[in-house]
Chain A
Amino acid sequence: MNKPLRRIAIFCGLLVLALLIRDNWIQYVQADELRSDKKNRRVTIERYASPRGNIIVGGEPITGSAESSDSDFKFKRTYKDGAMWAPVTGYASQAFGATQLESIEDGILTGNDDRLFFRNTLDMLTGKKQQGGNVVTTLNAAAQKAAYNGLKRQGGKGSVVALEPSTGKILALASFPSYDPSSFAGNSTTTDTKAWQKLQKKNNPNDPMLNRALRETYPPGSTFKVVTAAAALEDGLYTSADAKTDSPDPWIMKGTTTKLPNEGNIPCKNATLRVALQYSCNTVFGKIGSDLGNDKMLDMAKKFGFDEEQFTPVRANASVFSDKMNPSQTALSSIGQFNTAATPLQMAMVASAVANDGKLMKPYMVDELQSPGLDPIQKTDPEELSQPLSAENAQILQSMMETVVDKGTGSNAKIPGVKVGGKTGTAQHGVDNSENPYAWFISYAKGEDGSAPVAVAVVVEDDNAVRDDISGGGLAAPIARNVMEAVIDSKK
């Protein structure tokens, strides 16, 4: 009987071996994946086990930590001006997880990041409790306040993004209506869950938790004409702002019998680029788009950042400029209609690239990650994303945009003693344009030395306003002006 017994011994050994292999699989190979699984409650428990590091704007924390009453979680996240900063911070909730900066930089904020390993080991040896590091943002508190208050005063839905053109630093990132992440930071099924439920889109049609600055795309309307003008200059179709263009008015779109209308009675026939931008001539820019063709327009749009997600590091949706369109569709797309859609961040990037003499900088909002001892762990360096247009052409385009503010539709953005360039937009939406249009304004301000400290994009969707009142110049430009002023004042 001993031969089968030996085989049984081997069989039992194999059973134990299988268990050992499986154990290595789940505790070694898959360990990290399982440990950091978002649904694994330990992730949340750890997140609140010690006071969380802070998100910092202009040297001041906009977040905090308070002792929590929950049995699993020692601490709870708090926010200062939570609604104003929510598009930047996101939220860190014991019950509902974390998003945006709170999630992306979770490792630093909890102190679990590998880059803090040496420090943590040292702390463990000296008996100190683990602490979280800080996330220092690029934002400008005054600009953010101006942006958020401007939107709030307006009362409708909207968003503002401000960038520093020379670096790509995000100075303001506002969305309205917003939410206070403090209201559901805890784990109480009564207060926190109720607050959370109230903010969900199905219970609140205004969708306050949508980060409109990064995650909503709108038809950019006439603000897109800046991109079309850049394409015309770069291609050499037109080389000067003040030479007459070949633009019949009325213009019948190529391949159709449809006239492309202008808004009101404006001097668009063979208008120069400057005049066309000043009066926002659909005929001129529609024909430029049609003449350049889909490929060239798409190429230029992509150089400005269209059709690609941006990571600031918070993800921004990709803006859209379509491929494979016929000439009439290209014409409509070139005046910011048809399929064209852009996030507010995207349009701020357009203004920023023009103001920065044609160089587009990668937008970012995290300036520095700090260890709990405030030593820098990682600093973000400005990075050039592309150069959509040459410095000369950028300056031509600047002079055109400055005319828009000086004499044209953007006069509401004028700031005494500062050179401001801008472009208004009013984009139609809804079936047969039945819904209220979006009011757009993109602009930059230039200092005396010719450098531009700020570029802004503002979009307002106002269900309550009278239809005629909505135009980029009327609703959006004043907000842009306030934001630019705030940035200029804070530089003084």
Chain B
Amino acid sequence: MSGTNTSHSPTHHTSTIGAIGAPSRRNTELALLVFAVVIPVFAYANVGLALNDSVPPGLLSYGLGLGLLAGVGHLVVRKFAPYADPLMLPLATLLNGLGLVVIWRLDQSKRLSNYAEAAPRQLLYSAMGVALLAVVLIFLKDHRVLQRYTYISMAGALFLLILPLVPGLGANIYGAKIWIKIPGLGTLQPGEFAKIALAVFFAGYLMVKRDALALASRRFMGLYLPRGRDLGPILVVWVISILILVFETDLGTSLLFFGMFVIMLYVATERTSWIVFGLLMSAVGAVGVASFEPHIQTRVQAWLDPMREFDLSRAGVQDGIVHSEQAMQALWAFGSGGTLGTGLGQGNSDLIGFAANSDFILATFGEELGLAGVMAILLLYGLIIERGVRTALAARDPFGKLLAVGLSGAFALQVFVVAGGVMGLIPLTGMTLPFVAYGGSSVIANWALIGILLRISDTARRPAPAPAANPDAEMTQVVRPS
């Protein structure tokens, strides 16, 4: 809204806010998208040259595919959300493109013969994701519409979360039960979609209840203690998170949902005490469950002493626990990459084996693009997150603010939980790195997430409709003391 701002001039101490259109920044977005497509295309050629000394035959179709996705995304945004944030689409496209390159690179691995067809499938998923983004932008004219579906979203989220536990439908993959099997289609991670539905529910619920939660409280030792009956909702969410942890044995999903709720609760009520409560409750929950759940215990042990797990796994110790060498293999991949990495296609990150192209994909970036590459990827995520929070700041309605911060916060937590797990900062959990990791649910759901954020930012940045033509009307003048 700086188009007519003249306050920088020493002679005019006035700033004029008018209905003259703020820049849409669509051309900026287009220019950035060109980079977001060209960089992965070069990376793709690089992998081919490193592996087979020739430019890969699929380069053209791959480049066209990614270009088409970016183009469609851009046109839809230009038409249906012209004032949307210009960075998010290019950032997501770049991450998606780099992910495709690395997935294709791992497809070529001789050690991982079972992934032979992952990259084309991921391209298909990406197309579906961009299609969903288009659907969101075309049909969701105003994000406030979602507010109407607060409780339907809740029911939907719970339904999605329970799905993996339905006998015959759920699939237990390496201890975590967060997948469902759809015959003929493969596996699906309903938790990725539940994330969005839950954010909608929390935003709608908190918008209504926030005053009660914020004001009706007693002050005790510097903290605002909520009334007993206001504790209800957080307790319910906490219990659901614990149930996820117990029945689906997935620390990551549990942490993600609870963390998202605490963040939104804090923003809605502006009460720091909720953060304290949230941290206490998640600590109690995690420690409590870990004390009797062997799957979680193994993950913690592998985090504390990955080398021991490696040795146990190598020795084939059978003590009823799945010992995995992956945590150590991932660390070696990162370490072997060093500062600049081995170069695309020249590392041995495929030694990680199972899930090398999904949960552990960051390790391949680490080995082949080095510290420099991983820092760049992390900063790209950081930018998406900060653009999301910025959208929340700019949003004019509380529902939009809450939804935007919920989605961005969940995105941030997910990146932290996955990347931190693979790098050994926190125990490993089975989650996928948004846009980069192989997996249909993750890519599609995250494109939808970006779609909603774009919609909110479009609403936030859109100039107010021009006032009715009135020749006498003068622009509002704001006089600022100098």
Contacts and interface: CB of A to CB of B under 8 A. Distances in A.
23 contacts: A1-B398, A1-B401, A4-B270, A5-B392, A5-B401, A7-B266, A8-B263, A8-B266, A12-B389, A16-B385, A16-B416, A19-B425, A23-B374, A24-B375, A26-B423, A27-B374, A28-B339, A31-B335, A39-B307, A39-B328, A40-B336, A41-B348, A42-B336
A37 B306 CA distance: 13
Contact of B267 (A4, A12, A20, A33): A4
A7 to B, nearest CB: 8
A315 interface: no
A66 interface: no
A12 B336 contact: no
Closest 8 CB pairs of A and B: A34-B335, A27-B371, A16-B382, A12-B412, A9-B389, A15-B416, A22-B425, A40-B332
Given A19-B416, A24-B371, A34-B331, A2 B393 contact: yes
Contacts of A7: 266
A35 interface: yes
A22 B378 CA distance: 11
Contacts of B405: 5, 8
A39 B351 CA distance: 12
B78 to A, nearest CB: 28
Given A33-B335, A35-B338, 12 more contacts: A4-B266, A5-B267, A8-B263, A8-B266, A8-B389, A9-B390, A20-B378, A23-B371, A31-B334, A32-B335, A34-B332, A39-B310
B268 interface: yes
A18 B420 contact: yes
Interface SS, B side: helix
B393 A27 contact: no
A398 B435 CA distance: 81
A42 B329 CA distance: 10
Contacts of B336: 31, 34-35, 40, 42
Contacts of A16: 378-379, 381-382, 385, 412, 415-416
Given A1-B398, A5-B267, A15-B412, A26 B386 contact: no
Contact of B419 (A3, A12, A19): A19
B382 A6 contact: no
A45 interface: yes
A173 B310 CA distance: 37
A31 to B, nearest CB: 5
Q: Which of A35, A41, A42 has the most CB of B within 10 A?
A: A42
Contacts of A326: none
B425 A12 contact: no
B424 interface: yes
Contacts of B409: 8, 12
A32 B336 CA distance: 7
A34 B330 CA distance: 10
B189 interface: no
Contact of A27 (B263, B307, B370, B401): B370
Nearest to A37: B332
B220 to A, nearest CB: 20
A378 interface: no
Interface string B255-293: 000000001001110100000000000000000000000
Given A5-B401, A13-B386, A42-B348, A19 B337 contact: no
B370 A26 contact: no
A31 B339 contact: yes
Nearest to A27: B371
A42 B402 CA distance: 48
Contacts of A191: none
Nearest to B383: A16
Contacts of B415: 15-16, 19
Q: Which of B331, B332, B385 has the most CB of A within 10 A?
A: B332
A30 interface: yes
Contact of A19 (B266, B339, B386, B423): B423
Interface in A173-225: none
A1 B332 CA distance: 44
A15 B382 CA distance: 9
B332 A42 contact: yes
Q: Which of A7, A22, A41, A71 has the most CB of B within 10 A?
A: A22
Contacts of A45: 348
A90 to B, nearest CB: 23
Contact of B423 (A23, A33, A39): A23
Q: What is the interface residue range for chain A against chain B?
A: 35 or more
B8 interface: no
Interface string B291-311: 000000000000000010010
A5 B390 CA distance: 9
Contacts of A5: 267, 389, 392-393, 401, 405
A18 B378 CA distance: 10
B150 interface: no
B386 A27 contact: no
A40 B412 CA distance: 32
Contact of B375 (A4, A8, A23, A71): A23
A197 to B, nearest CB: 16
A49 to B, nearest CB: 11
Contacts of A37: 332, 335
B95 interface: no
B229 interface: no
A71 B350 CA distance: 13
A9 B386 contact: yes
A2 B270 CA distance: 9
A39 B307 CA distance: 9
A486 to B, nearest CB: 45
A96 to B, nearest CB: 13
A71 to B, nearest CB: 6
Contacts of A32: 335
B432 interface: no
B341 to A, nearest CB: 9
B364 interface: no
A42 B288 CA distance: 39
B416 A18 contact: yes
B345 to A, nearest CB: 15
Given A39-B310, A45-B348, A1 B267 contact: yes
B267 to A, nearest CB: 5
Interface string B398-437: 1001100100110011011001100111000000000000
Contacts of B424: 22, 26
Contact of A3 (B270, B385, B386): B270
Contacts of A6: 393
Contacts of A42: 332, 336, 348, 351
A41 B270 contact: no
B480 interface: no
A19 B267 contact: no
A391 B302 CA distance: 62
A27 B366 contact: yes
A85 to B, nearest CB: 31
Contacts of B337: 27, 31
B266 A26 contact: no
B393 A20 contact: no
A4 to B, nearest CB: 5
Nearest to B420: A19
A39 B409 CA distance: 38
B79 interface: no
A4 B110 CA distance: 50
A13 B382 contact: yes
Contacts of B328: 39
Contacts of B378: 16, 19-20, 23
